Structure 1
Amino acid sequence: MSRMGRTAGWILSLMLVFGLAAGCADGGNDAERSPEHAEAAGPAGSGSDAGDAAGGEEGEGTLNAGELVYDGEDIKVNQVGYLPDAPKVAVLEGEAEAERFQVVDAETQAVVFEGEVGRAEIDANSGERVRHLDFSSLREEGEYAVVVPGAGASRKFRIARNVYYAPFFDALRSYTLGRAGLAIDDPITGLKHEAGHLQDAEARLDIDHPHAPAGTPVDVSGGWYDAGDYGKYVTPGAVTAAQLLLAYELYPEKFTAGQLKFPDGFASDVPGLPDALAEVKVELDWLLKMQRPDGAVYHKVSGLAWPGMIRPEDDTQPRYVFGMTTYGTGMFAGAMALAARVYEPFDAEYAGRLLEAAERAWRFLEAHPEPIVLKSERQDNGSGGYDKNGDQDDRFWAAAELLKTTGDARYAAYIGEKLSHQLQREPVIIGWGSTLALGQFAYATAEAGDPAVKASLRQKLVKAADDIVGRIERDGYRYALSPNEYTWASAKNGMAKAELLLLAHELEPKEAYVHGALDQLHYTLGRNALGTTYLTGSGTEMPDYPHSRMITGTGTYIPGLLVGGPNKFGGDPELDKMLERESPPPAKAYLDSPGSWATNEYAIDYNAPLVFVLTYFAEP
């Protein structure tokens, strides 16, 4: 179905099923707003080489077209597709005892490949009996489906070198469609609305600060809406910007000017600036407005009540600048220091401004060595909390990025004297709940870093990647999450493990890391127990009803949004009822419903590791 056709059907269905006019009234609308659940406690997972199919061979003949229904009920594939030279594995579920499978041309039903069905095993996270169908040696580009006697056919998929460019484009461009304070008339998606939250230009301080009392107006206009709500938050904003900038820093050839086909009025005025950097600059400019004169950084911007599922311009309630934290200040400093390196070739003056902001934030942290959280009783009444215990990993990340950007040895000395315990920690996936791995990678690749420390951190990141590879090899769907990691933002967490694999690959290239990262992408794009992609607009079966005020309010289906995914811990009334009624296994604890913000909400930081991974694999 075309996107416009999908939008029309989606609007009608949404009118029938949606009844949460007040949105997330309990304040829990983001998958990572509970750090103890959101950030997985250390990498566990694995990737592997699939190699050529055992017993695989070129097939002959044509199947009866009338017998094939590409429903994918029992055969799960990456519905977007596979790279020609990479491993290609489908997963057969159920009790079918066929010994061989076929791959057919999706249009002609001609058999192009035959192979042996792998041995059966029980996948603990889904409760399914699964067998692998390896067709890695099929490399010819085209559109195909996998067929197993007694189990039907898979969804259609492509084999092509550019197969991941469309989701890469959609996921990266989703930030453009989530800009705050701008009217939009997008010819690609049909998204159209007036400028929303113009009151952010005079948002009021919620509490007293050293430089100004409560009620003082502050211009915090611009930036990106965070998720399914219209709040704007420093912590996910900084971590998101950093991951997108790191993708550019590592793979600059993947980004060009004109790439994102900006709507009228959205393009950058910096000559030659790649669109991705122009887009991230929107968030950086907002983050700069969130810095106090003394270097500390406010926490978030929102209203005092959750808005209904309305258009952005219809949320006219007063907006406030809430709180201040040292962990947010650390994340701000890390992101700004990284950004200064990236923008310097394009706009040296702007890069200098970014670095000055990072150093000012760092001076505040040096002067205040203990964690600080300023928060009022009312500040979470209409927005996510983004609460976190401690700030040491964020201070470490900030110091490591400043070391890498400036080459100033005093940052390495500070880490050695004040943050040495961070050097001993094992990497965990990147997110606003933990920026440790960002700091580890920055230090490990900093020219001015201590050689022994750099070697140790490289070893830790490689060991973490090896652990992820081992976990993937033990999973029936080749996914890196353990049962307790199917929580808020599980889909994001899987992609964050893929991101760690690719970072380790930069330090110590291994084919297993690349293939393991692809396995996580295959899962996200349909090779999972539910047979759905978790990315809007990608694949055949996808999230039709995300929890999003922008989508519901405007009646426009927006592609490129990674939703939270299965969550066995619950967190919204619809999911909680389903868990109580059905007791699904972890990998099936998901609802494609606008009322399930615990499984079906998008957030900017969910897309960040996905964009990072897609950057590596995407070809125009």
Structure 2
Amino acid sequence: MKNQFVKKLPGISFYWLIVLLLAWGRPCNAQKSVHIRVNQLGYLASDVKEALVFSPGPLREKLQLRRAQDSSLVLEERPLRIKADTWGTFDYYYSFDFSSVKQPGSYFLQTKSTGVKTPAFLIGPQAYAGQQETLLEFMRQQRCGYNPTLDMVCHEKDGRSFYGPMPDSTYVDLSGGWHDAGDQLKYLITGSYATAHLLMAFELYPDRFADAYNALGQPGGNGIPDVLDEAKWGLDWIHKMHPAPDVLFHQVADDRDHRGFKIPNQDNSDYGWGANSYRAAYAATGTSQGLGKYKSKATGLANLAGRSAAAMALAARIWEEHLQDSIYAAKCRKAALSLYALGRKKEGYQQGNSFGAPYRYNEETWADDMEWAAAELYAMTKVPDYLNQAREYALKSSNRDAWTVRDTAAHYQLYPFINMGHYALHRHVDKEFKATLEGYYREGIVYTLNRAMQNPFHIGVPFIWCSNNLLSSLIAQIILYEKMSGDDQFRPFLAAQRDWLFGRNPWGTSMFTGMPASGEYPEDVHTSVYVMLGLQVPGGLVDGPIYRSIHDSLLGLTLTNPDEFAALQNRHIVYQDDVGDYSTNEPTMDGTAGAVLMMAHFGLPVK
């Protein structure tokens, strides 16, 4: 072979022949062929710390962990080849475990010879300190009515009723709440969950939330933790959505909203009263609805009433015990009882409504919401009937309402993505029933863990629309399971799921806007404030990777720039940081709220 090569290249010296041969066996650009993935936000000292390395060919060099301050060497080892199936783009995957390093500080990883380097990341308690407050910054940006991020008032004329007990087009005051995502719709489906999740996160970690903003979201504390100010923004809107014992509105606006990017107080959508005017407000009836071509499905409204009742019961307890505000606590208590009674009267689910497009929130579960409500009402009242009903709903929901024991589901079909009712009920039942509830959580964790072992990233969620929401919910489920059972065997799995969200993924990007500020994160997000005003508001959790089969079938999805991650995509799953990709790069209000518990869990108490 050597002689043949020399004959084809006459006149080349032996020195240059050796150089050519070495180049022949090495990629032209080594720094582009090797990729190192870490959690860019960082790690607690006790965490399992595992970086992932992948390349098209064998990795023949060691990996080094160095201190960012002075580049001093801390650890040098050869990464271990991963035996799991590859992701589909690169043939060689390796893990590099540096769990033994616990000294607080800033570090980076690099390959020894070619110098491929990661961004700096933290190890130690400061890695997650205060990051839950960053998520609340995004939540304030989503506020409808007075928006403190933009310092403007929008959608003051929400809305005109449909399907309610009053005549169609009757004005009802449903101002407030949160815009759902990059669009400006408002859903009780997501708003009720976001509100209840924020309240539960505070109950679990009351010492980890700061007070830097007032009730309107303006700088300056008001003696109330900001997470409760944000939850109250949701509570006040839910009160409006439930103006009478037999009335519950569930949605304001529909996909007539989707007329391009727009500033919230200059909404060009027209619901029959002209642009930037009244918007349709849908009352929950437990029946199929739709004012245009497409109709939602419905069998009742207990999903909406149950989640809202759980939020109100949590609020009643918190405002009484933590804030000593008996007046607001009494208001929430009354609403909790009324909403729960409405859910009992009309068991079943109400989906979101669309008008001219086939996409909607396809929720088909409700027993999980009623379990959560009944458990919180029992905690609030100590009335035994609520405890008995909570147990019944828990058995009815079990894991039949859970995506964690399935390989796929429709968009928001099994919502919320975690059954908080199991945790809320656990503290009130006997040992045997505690084990049953723990078993529901454990079954879902084990199922997703088995899925995770089939890929080198050890990621266990199905990549349906809003996969990042599934992931943050799975993380919350592992956290709550450990609190319930004391079983900490899933901590390495928990770390892998969390680390994916902050960069240990094929694309090497955080899935939260602006987090960490010095790292790779979504920038060209599908939101009006970015497109129209250039604002990059940190803390928003984007939808995340999606099966290409779903992605490529969506209407109106067009990239505005070449895909910067094109070389990292595989044939099955795609993520794109582009304003035109509403399926993977649109930050959502409920997804962000649903990650607050996770961030508080890893954070530090506020001094």
Question: Is residue 242 of structure 2 the alignment partner of residue 291 of structure 1?
Answer: yes
Per the alignment, residue 434 of structure 2 pairs with: 454
Per the alignment, residue 199 of structure 1 pairs with: 157
Deviations 1:8-55 (A, max 9, x none): xxxxxxxxxxxxxxxxxxxxxxxxxxxxxxxxxxxxxxxxxxxxxxxx
Per the alignment, residue 601 of structure 2 pairs with: 616
Correspondences of 1:107-256 after superposition (within 5 Å): 107-128=69-90, 129-149=92-112, 152-165=116-129, 167-184=131-148, 191-200=149-158, 203-207=159-163, 209-210=164-165, 212-256=166-210
Give, in angstroms, the shift of residue 257 of structure 1. 2.6
Give, in angstroms, the shift of residue 77 of structure 1. 0.9
Q: Is the 8 A contact 1:429 1:437 kept in 2?
A: no
* CA gap 1:417/1:489 in 2 versus in 1, 3 angstroms: closer
* CA gap 1:572/1:105 in 2 versus in 1, 3 angstroms: farther
Letter in 2 for 1:229: D
Give, in angstroms, the shift of residue 134 of structure 1. 0.9
Question: Is residue 521 of structure 2 the alignment partner of residue 542 of structure 1?
Answer: yes
* CA gap 1:262/1:219 in 2 versus in 1, 3 angstroms: closer
Tell me, in whole angstroms, the C-alpha distance in 2 between the residues paired with 1:363 and 1:132.
Answer: 53
* CA gap 1:382/1:335 in 2 versus in 1, 3 angstroms: farther
Q: Secondary structure at the match of 1:224?
A: coil
Correspondences of 1:588-607 after superposition (within 5 Å): 588-607=573-592
Q: Secondary structure at the match of 2:108?
A: strand
Letter in 1 for 2:145: G
Question: Given the alignment, which residue of 271, 279, 298 partners 1:319?
Answer: 279
Per the alignment, residue 443 of structure 1 pairs with: 425
Q: Secondary structure at the match of 1:173?
A: helix
Per the alignment, residue 26 of structure 2 pairs with: none
Tell me, in whole angstroms, the C-alpha distance in 2 between the residues paired with 1:163 and 1:306.
Answer: 38
Give, in angstroms, the shift of residue 422 of structure 1. 2.5
* CA gap 1:407/1:452 in 2 versus in 1, 3 angstroms: farther
Tell me, in whole angstroms, the C-alpha distance in 2 between the residues paired with 1:254 and 1:71.
Answer: 41
TM-score (norm 1): 0.78
Q: Secondary structure at the match of 2:601?
A: helix
Question: Given the alignment, which residue of 559, 563, 568 partners 2:538?
Answer: 559
Q: Secondary structure at the match of 1:165?
A: coil
Letter in 1 for 2:505: N
Correspondences of 1:416-495 after superposition (within 5 Å): 420-423=395-398, 425=400, 427-428=402-403, 433-435=414-416, 437-445=419-427, 447=428, 449=429, 451-481=431-461, 485-495=462-472
Give, in angstroms, the shift of residue 505 of structure 1. 0.9
Give, in angstroms, the shift of residue 247 of structure 1. 1.2
Letter in 2 for 1:351: A
Q: Is the 8 A contact 1:232 1:300 kept in 2?
A: yes
Per the alignment, residue 18 of structure 1 pairs with: none
Q: Is the 8 A contact 1:575 1:598 kept in 2?
A: no
Correspondences of 1:10-25 after superposition (within 5 Å): none
Per the alignment, residue 475 of structure 2 pairs with: 498
Letter in 1 for 2:230: E
Higher RCO (C-alpha 8 Å, min separation 6): 1
Deviations 1:565-584 (A, max 9, x none): 111121354479999x9995
Tell me, in whole angstroms, the C-alpha distance in 1 between the residues paired with 2:451 and 2:392.
Answer: 35
Q: Secondary structure at the match of 1:256?
A: coil
* CA gap 1:110/1:366 in 2 versus in 1, 3 angstroms: closer
Give, in angstroms, the shift of residue 472 of structure 1. 4.2
Tell me, in whole angstroms, the C-alpha distance in 2 between the residues paired with 1:138 and 1:70.
Answer: 26
Letter in 2 for 1:518: A
Q: Is the 8 A contact 1:171 1:559 kept in 2?
A: yes
* CA gap 1:557/1:85 in 2 versus in 1, 3 angstroms: same
* CA gap 1:583/1:83 in 2 versus in 1, 3 angstroms: closer
Per the alignment, residue 298 of structure 2 pairs with: none
Letter in 2 for 1:111: L
Tell me, in whole angstroms, the C-alpha distance in 2 between the residues paired with 1:560 and 1:375.
Answer: 26
Q: Is the 8 A contact 1:71 1:154 kept in 2?
A: no
Tell me, in whole angstroms, the C-alpha distance in 1 between the residues paired with 2:513 and 2:185.
Answer: 21
Deviations 1:535-589 (A, max 9, x none): 110132111111112322322111111101111121354479999x999537750
Q: Secondary structure at the match of 1:192?
A: coil
Q: Secondary structure at the match of 1:455?
A: helix
Letter in 2 for 1:322: Y
* CA gap 1:500/1:309 in 2 versus in 1, 3 angstroms: same
* CA gap 1:77/1:613 in 2 versus in 1, 3 angstroms: same
- Of 459-468 and 414-423, deviating more is 414-423
Letter in 2 for 1:597: Y
Tell me, in whole angstroms, the C-alpha distance in 2 between the residues paired with 1:419 and 1:559.
Answer: 37
Percent pairwise identity: 26
Letter in 2 for 1:328: L
- Of 305-314 and 124-133, deviating more is 124-133
* CA gap 1:230/1:390 in 2 versus in 1, 3 angstroms: same
* CA gap 1:368/1:469 in 2 versus in 1, 3 angstroms: closer
* CA gap 1:375/1:91 in 2 versus in 1, 3 angstroms: closer
Tell me, in whole angstroms, the C-alpha distance in 2 between the residues paired with 1:295 and 1:507.
Answer: 36
Deviations 1:272-326 (A, max 9, x none): 3211111110111001100141244211112644243111111114212113150
Tell me, in whole angstroms, the C-alpha distance in 1 between the residues paired with 2:476 and 2:376.
Answer: 18
Q: Is the 8 A contact 1:305 1:381 kept in 2?
A: no
* CA gap 1:274/1:218 in 2 versus in 1, 3 angstroms: same
Q: Is the 8 A contact 2:559 2:578 kept in 1?
A: no
Q: Secondary structure at the match of 1:162?
A: helix
Give, in angstroms, the shift of residue 616 of structure 1. 0.4
TM-score (norm 2): 0.79
Tell me, in whole angstroms, the C-alpha distance in 2 between the residues paired with 1:160 and 1:71.
Answer: 30
Q: Is the 8 A contact 2:183 2:527 kept in 1?
A: yes
Tell me, in whole angstroms, the C-alpha distance in 2 between the residues paired with 1:412 and 1:561.
Answer: 36
Q: Is the 8 A contact 1:204 1:320 kept in 2?
A: yes
* CA gap 1:183/1:495 in 2 versus in 1, 3 angstroms: closer
Per the alignment, residue 39 of structure 1 pairs with: none
Q: Is the 8 A contact 2:209 2:225 kept in 1?
A: yes
Correspondences of 1:44-63 after superposition (within 5 Å): none
Q: Secondary structure at the match of 2:445?
A: helix
Letter in 2 for 1:236: T
Q: Is the 8 A contact 2:368 2:393 kept in 1?
A: no
Letter in 2 for 1:477: F
Question: Given the alignment, which residue of 376, 395, 414 partners 1:401?
Answer: 376
Q: Is the 8 A contact 2:250 2:282 kept in 1?
A: yes
How many residues are paired up?
531
Deviations 1:314-348 (A, max 9, x none): 11142121131502222212222222222221122
Who wins on radius of gyration, i.e. which is larger?
2
Question: Is residue 330 of structure 2 the alignment partner of residue 367 of structure 1?
Answer: no
Per the alignment, residue 336 of structure 1 pairs with: 312
Tell me, in whole angstroms, the C-alpha distance in 2 between the residues paired with 1:118 and 1:582.
Answer: 24
Tell me, in whole angstroms, the C-alpha distance in 2 between the residues paired with 1:78 and 1:99.
Answer: 22
Q: Secondary structure at the match of 2:153?
A: coil
Deviations 1:201-254 (A, max 9, x none): xx11023x22x2111111111121111111111011111111221111111111
Tell me, in whole angstroms, the C-alpha distance in 1 between the residues paired with 2:319 and 2:197.
Answer: 15
Deviations 1:403-438 (A, max 9, x none): 233221112333556774334747546978334621
